Homo-oligomer: A and B are copies of this chain.
Amino acid sequence: MQRCCPPAEVASDRFHEEASLFKAIADENRMRILATLASAIEDVCVCDFTGALPLNQPTVSHHLRILREAGLVTCERRGTWVYYRLAPGAHERVESATRAVFAQKVLA
C-alpha cells in the first residue's frame, strides 16, 4: 500500500500558556464579565455582577478569581466594595495567542 503522506510535520509548540488563557475565557458568564469590563467607562463593582448575572454571589466570586489568576482582570478594594477592571493588555494577549495558533507558514 502506498504511503499516505508527504509526511507533514506537526506543530511542536506546547501552547500551554495559550490554552490556559483560552480556558479562562471559554465560559459564557466569564465572557459577559469581560465584555462588561471592556465596555465600561469606569471600574465595575462586584455587586453589579451578582445583581445582573444568573449566578449566586460565591459563583460570581469564583469566576472573578479565575479571570484574576489568568491575568485578564485586576481588582481594587475601596471601602466595603471591590472594583474590577480589565487588565492592561488583556485584549492584546488574546489576540496574540490567537495569532500564535493560526500563524500561517511563511512560504519560502
Binding site for B on A (CB under 8 A): 1, 4-11, 13-16, 18-19, 22-23, 25-28, 31-36, 38-42, 44-45, 47-49, 51-53, 80-81, 86, 90-91, 94-95, 98, 100-105, 107
Copies in the complex: 2
- The interface residues of chain B lying within 8 Å CB-to-CB of A19 are 26-28, 31
Q: How far is the CB of A93 from chain B (nearest CB, A)?
A: 10
> Residue on B with the closest CB to A1?
B80
> Residue on B with the closest CB to A13?
B35
B38 near A101: Cβ-Cβ < 8 Å: yes
Contact A15-B28, Cβ < 8 Å, known A10-B52, A35-B103: yes
Q: A8-B36, A10-B33 are in contact. List 16 more A-B contacts (CB 8 A).
A: A5-B47, A5-B48, A5-B81, A8-B48, A9-B48, A10-B32, A10-B51, A11-B39, A15-B28, A19-B31, A25-B101, A26-B26, A31-B101, A35-B101, A38-B104, A39-B103
